[in-house]
Amino acid sequence: MVAGLVRFAVRRSLRDTRYVRVVPRRRATGVVAEVYAQVERDFSMLAPPVALHSAAPEVLAAAWSVLRESLLAEGLAGRAAKEAVATGVSKANSCPYCVDVHGMTLAAIPAADDTAAWEDWARASAAGAADAPPFPPEQAPELIGVAVAFQYYNRMVNVFLRESPFPSHVPESAKPQARRVLGGVLRPPSGPGPQAGDSLRLLPAAPHPQDLAWAGSNAVVADAFARAYAATEAAGERSVPPAVRTLLQDRLSTWDGKPPGLSRAWLEEAVAGLTETDRPAGRLALAIALASYQVDEALVEAFRATTPADATLIELTAWSSMTAARRVSTWLTTSLDPA
C-alpha cells in the first residue's frame, strides 16, 4: 500500500517537470509507449528523468538505452557498485535529485562489500582526476557506462527537474520515511537483473566511434551507446545551430572537467563570436555542458523565444549533455589504461 502511494507520488511529480510537457502515459504511442513500458517493467515506475525526454522520441529511446544497458541490465558488475558510481558522479555534478534517488537505492541494497571506493573513483573521474579504477577490466564497460550515462543524466535533470524526486506538496517532515520507502521500491529484486539488450531494438544500428573503445568488450553496452550517440548527434544537427555545435566542441576539446566559475560572466565571453541570433542557443548549450547547475529560466526562455518547440529544447539539451559526457569518457578510458 505505502509503496503504491510512493509510486503514485513520483508519477505525479512528472507534472513538476520544467519547461516542457511530458507525454502522459495513457497518451503515449509508438516509440514513446514502448520506452514507457520498458521503464515501468525494469524500473518499477515511470522514472521522471527518462520521461522528461518524451517530446523527442528518438532522444527518449537513446537516454533510456544507455541507462538500462549500463545500470539495470544483468552483467558482470553488481548493482551496488553501479549505484555507487551513479551517486558519485551525481555528487560531483551537483545534481541533488540524482544523488537523492541513487543514494536511496544504494542504501536499500544489501551490499557485501564497501562501495566507498567506487563512489570516490566516480567523483574524481568527473574532474579528470581519477586513479586506476577499483574494478577488474571485464567490468569496465558497465561501470564506465554508468559514469557516462550519469554525466548525461545529471545535466538533463539539473535543467528539467526539481531538486527532490518527491512532488512539491510532500512536506519535509514526511520525506525521511518516503526516502526509505522509495529506496525499497527502487531496490533491485534478488536474482538476475533484466535481460541485457532489450532496448537495442528502439534505435537503428550505428557505427562504433573511436571514443567508445572503453565498451569494446561488452557488445550490448557498446551497441547501446553507439546507437544513442548517433541519435543525439542527429538531434543536434536538427536543433542546434552549426556555429553553436562548433563552439561547444572546440571548448570541450580542451576542457578538463573543472567548473568555469561561480558567475556566468564566462558565458558572454564564450558566445561573443556568435551572431545575435545564435547566442541564446550558444549560452544554453555551453551552460548545460560545463555548468548545468547554473541553468535557469532566463537562459531557457531566451532560447525558447527563438525556437519554442518542446522537441527542439529537448534535442539541444540532450546533444549538449551527451557531447559533454562523451568528453568525460575520454579521460575515463585513460584512467582505465594509462598507457
Higher local confidence (pLDDT), 323 or 114: 323
What pLDDT shows up at residue 108? 80
- Report the pLDDT averaged over residues 158-179: 71
Q: In percent, how much of the chain has pLDDT > 70?
A: 86
Please, what sign has the CA dihedral across residues 326, 222, 86, 96?
A: positive
What pLDDT shows up at residue 140? 94
- Report the pLDDT averaged over residues 38-53: 93
* 83, 150, 232, 310 from 321: Cα distances, Å: 20, 10, 9, 16
Q: pLDDT-derived band of residue 1, with 50, 70 and 90 as boundaries? A: very low
Name the residue with cell 506538496: 169
| Mean pLDDT computed over every residue of the chain | 88
Q: Where are the domains of the chain?
A: 2-186+196-232, 236-336
Name the residue with cell 570541450: 252
Per-residue model confidence as pLDDT tens digits over 183-221: 666 667 666 778 999 999 999 999 999 999 999 999 999
What pLDDT shows up at residue 125? 82
* Angle in degrees, 0-180, between the axes of helices 140-160 and 116-125, rounded to the nearest 10: 60
What pLDDT shows up at residue 181? 62
What pLDDT shows up at residue 339? 41
Can you list the alpha helix ranges (DSSP code H) found in the chain?
2-12, 30-43, 48-51, 57-67, 79-92, 96-108, 116-125, 140-160, 175-186, 219-239, 242-253, 265-270, 279-291, 297-304, 310-336
pTM of the model: 0.92
Per-residue model confidence as pLDDT tens digits over 237-275: 999 999 999 999 999 999 988 888 778 889 999 999 999
Q: pLDDT-derived band of residue 132, with 50, 70 and 90 as boundaries? A: confident
Please, what sign has the CA dihedral across residues 142, 58, 96, 89?
A: positive
- Burial readout 182-216 (b: 16 or more C-beta within 10 A, e: otherwise): bbbbbbbeeeebbebbbbbebbeebebeeebebbe
Distance CA 120, CA 131 (A): 10
Distance CA 88, CA 117 (A): 10
- Report the pLDDT averaged over residues 144-173: 85
